[in-house]
Amino acid sequence: MRALVYDGELRLERDYPKPEPAPGQAIVRVTKAGICNTDLELVKGYMGFGGVLGHEFVGVVESGGPEWEGRRVVGEINLACGECTCCRAGMPSQCPNRTTLGINRHDGAFADYLQLPTANLHALPDTVSDDQAAFVEPLAAALQISERRQIMPSERVVVIGDGKLGLLVAQVLRLTGCHLRLVGHHDSKLVLAQGWGIETARAGDLGANLADVVVDCTGQASGFAASLDIVRPRGTIVLKSTYHGLPEADLTRVVVDEVSVVGSRCGPFEPAIRLLAAGLVDVEAMIQARYSLDDGVVALERAAQRGTLKVLLEVG
């Protein structure tokens, strides 16, 4: 099968071995896949990954039992052991033995086929298109903020970063009724957000009115310092960005201002599917380009260009 492989260099392989059926495992024929900034970080060396990239996908189950075969699905990306303390505590996404689709020791979705446990699959209703479904994974990650920290309708919330994740996070937080502002650098993206009724600002233009909650979606080490500058005393910084490298962080200021810092990663799929089905989140407007899997290397180069929104790979 075709597969976009990274092992120090990125290339399309045409005879990559197709995953084998196994008990409890589904083989999914990939229809579409989305390129995430994490893919771009992996190609820079994050996680020391080697294998098939890709973790945002929609596909059709080819094998995995009669309950699943032929169904259109998305899939959770963490493959948990099911037996450790984290798994038993209902936190499979934190399983220390986990592998992660296209991120850590498990081949990913930029290929004709992928393998996932059937327990990871979520069937899609007809009301969610394939284009929309390709966004379920990052939209779930945006929803994880509300799993980690209550967002009160009366709060002042600032999302820093108008990239793909920032735009999804802003759309989700807008639904809480909070006083939301999205801070970014790109006119076209801020205009997009304004079209959704989201107040936008340029970095440095927020004035003296501090935020109760700041969500760092910059994807950059500098995002933490920027968040500290605008969070109120005893406010919360939600970190969504992962990147290769360690920033300097003013932890003394965290103590003195009694700030809370909350890490947030993968989130719940069913609420994401519900919001898409209800038309409450607009993901189509975030699709900037489409490439065939055959042109996957070029697609990743395009996705890496500054300011690019979602690049989709058309696979099946």
Measured from the CB atom, the residue of 87 and 190 that comes closer to its own copies is 87
Q: Does 206 bind its own copies (CB under 8 A)?
A: no
Measured from the CB atom, the residue of 68 and 224 that comes closer to its own copies is 224
Q: Does 86 bind its own copies (CB under 8 A)?
A: yes
Stretch that binds its own copies, among 69-77, 127-135, 199-207, 253-261 (CB under 8 A): 253-261
Q: Is the backbone of residue 210 left (phi > 0), alpha (psi -120 to 50) or beta? A: beta
Q: Which residue has the tokens 């020791």?
A: 105
Give φ, ψ of 139 to 5 degrees: -65, -40
- The DSSP symbol for 258 reads T
Alpha helices, DSSP H only, in 196-244?
223-230
Q: Does 43 bind its own copies (CB under 8 A)?
A: no
Stretch that binds its own copies, among 108-116, 199-207, 226-234, 304-312 (CB under 8 A): 226-234
Give CA separation, 45 vs 6, 53, 62, in Å. 10, 13, 32
Which residues contact residue 15 at a Cβ distance below 8 angstroms, ignoring those fewer than 6 apart? Answer: 1
Q: Does 229 bind its own copies (CB under 8 A)?
A: no
CA–CA gap between residue 157 and residue 64 (Å, rounded): 43
Report in angstroms how near the CB of residue 224 gets to its own copies at its nearest.
6
Q: Is the dihedral of CA 134, 78, 62, 2 positive or negative?
A: positive
CB of 216 within 8 A of CB of 243? no
From residue 142 to residue 181, the character string flagging contacts with its own copies as x (rule: CB under 8 A) and all else as - is ------x---------------------------------
CA–CA gap between residue 231 and residue 265 (Å, rounded): 21
CA–CA gap between residue 222 and residue 91 (Å, rounded): 30
CA–CA gap between residue 85 and residue 140 (Å, rounded): 24
CB of 116 within 8 A of CB of 101? yes
**Quick one: how far is CA 77 from the chain centroid?**
10
Stretch that binds its own copies, among 17-25, 150-158, 263-271, 291-299 (CB under 8 A): 263-271
Report in angstroms how near the CB of residue 46 gets to its own copies at its nearest.
8
Measured from the CB atom, the residue of 113 and 224 that comes closer to its own copies is 224
Report in angstroms how near the CB of residue 95 gets to its own copies at its nearest.
8
Report in angstroms how near the CB of residue 187 gets to its own copies at its nearest.
28
Q: Which residue has the tokens 């006083």?
A: 179
Stretch that binds its own copies, among 68-76, 121-129, 170-178, 228-236 (CB under 8 A): 228-236
Stretch that binds its own copies, among 86-94, 124-132, 157-165, 274-282 (CB under 8 A): 86-94
Stretch that binds its own copies, among 112-120, 161-169, 231-239, 307-315 (CB under 8 A): 231-239
Q: Which of 66, 197, 246, 306 binds its own copies (CB under 8 A)?
A: 246
* Footprint of its own copies (CB under 8 A): 85-86, 91, 94, 96, 148, 221, 224, 232-234, 239-244, 246-265
